[in-house]
Amino acid sequence: MNPDALAGRLLFAIPKKGRLYEKCLEILSGADIQFRRHNRLDVCLVMNHPIALVFLPASDIPSFVGSGNVDLGITGHDVILEANMEEQVTEIQRLGFGKCALQVQVPEGGSIQSVESLAGKRVVTSFEVLAAAYFEKIDNNLQLTGESRTKIQYVGGSVEAACALGLADGIVDLVESGDTMRAAGLHAIATVLQTEAVLIKSSVPKNPDHAPLIDLITRRIAGVIAASKYVVCEYNISRDKLPVATTITPGRRAPTISPLEEENWVAVSSMVEKKNAANVMDELVKIGAEDILIFNLDNCRV
């Protein structure tokens, strides 16, 4: 793409493939960021905002946002730490998807069943920085020195095969469902960190003129995430039971309460977490609430 076409546009980096890509497309759609990505092109212009989307490997996005000219990005919390970009980028919001754990794994039934017994041996990972920092603390606690310290080796893929193929005594790798780990005959003995997708911006603004648009996009994405996480619960209840009811449905900030024509009754509307909706309805029934309704949210502003 001609660099002149990007002049004056906010640059927004999106993972080009992998576990975060499809979810990012849903976020962009919900935020009304309209674009058409042509085959084999990793840069495209947004049609309804002065934004250019840049599709990059998720592991590269922290560096482009922190040190390059990219204003916003979506990537994993883990790759920010792996790239040593915590000071250069600001995590605006955790997005609630792409959740997984970076874990230390060893063969099931093997002689090594703790990180202390793995220390000083061979560990293979694609998270070389995080794994080295983790085992450095363990090595120091065990007072291991020189050649007796843990050996960290980087591989770019097939990390889970390293033990079976004789390359490692243990690995450090991401675990989402755990299916791949179990299929390789491994199990987790420690967790290095929990991670998920995050929206990031540069800690030092690239272009002050982009600040209003960054705020707009941030608010829209926050609304999309909230809409996926919450539902609206509406019900009627007698006023004397309202204090108990509002402890069940406190809302994000506070419930909306409206009087009804029937004396001593009120209507309550409140946002509740979608995962807890069934339990909330059950609790409301127990205290005498009536006409309990749940509405899904397509979008919102929070």
pLDDT tens, the chain, 302 aa long = 555 667 789 999 999 987 789 999 999 999 999 998 877 778 999 999 999 999 999 999 999 999 999 999 999 999 999 999 999 999 999 999 999 999 999 999 889 999 999 999 999 999 999 999 999 999 999 999 999 999 999 998 889 999 999 999 999 999 998 899 999 999 999 999 999 999 999 999 888 899 999 999 999 999 999 999 999 999 999 999 999 999 999 998 899 999 999 889 999 999 999 999 999 999 999 999 999 999 999 888 87
Helix 21-30 and helix 211-229, axial crossing angle in degrees, nearest 10: 110
282 found inside a domain: yes
- Rounded Cα gap, residues 75 and 131, in angstroms: 19
State the burial class of residue 244 (Cβ atoms within 10 Å of its Cβ: 0-12, 13-18, 19+).
middle
- 3-state secondary structure (DSSP) of residue 216: helix
Bridge partners (DSSP) of residue 197 are 76
Within this chain, do residues 187 and 201 fall inside the same structural domain, yes or no? no
- 3-state secondary structure (DSSP) of residue 10: strand
Bridge partners (DSSP) of residue 35 are 46
Bridge partners (DSSP) of residue 258 are 267
**55 lies in which domain range?**
3-97+197-206
Within this chain, do residues 87 and 118 fall inside the same structural domain, yes or no? no
- Rounded Cα gap, residues 20 and 35, in angstroms: 18
Q: Which of 195, 215, 245 is a domain's end point? A: 195
212 found inside a domain: no
Could you tell me which of 227, 229, 255, 244 has the C-alpha nearest to residue 284?
244
Number of domains within the chain: 3
Could you tell me which of 48, 30, 20, 19 has the C-alpha nearest to residue 297?
30
pTM: 0.85
What is the Cα Rg of the chain in Å?
24
Q: Tokens 């076409």 label which residue?
A: 5
Angle, CA 140 vertex, CA 135 and CA 142 arms, to 5°: 95
Confirm if 289 and 234 have CB atoms less than 8 A apart.
no
CATH code, 56: 3.40.190.10
Look up residue 247 and give its two tokens. 């402890």
41 found inside a domain: yes
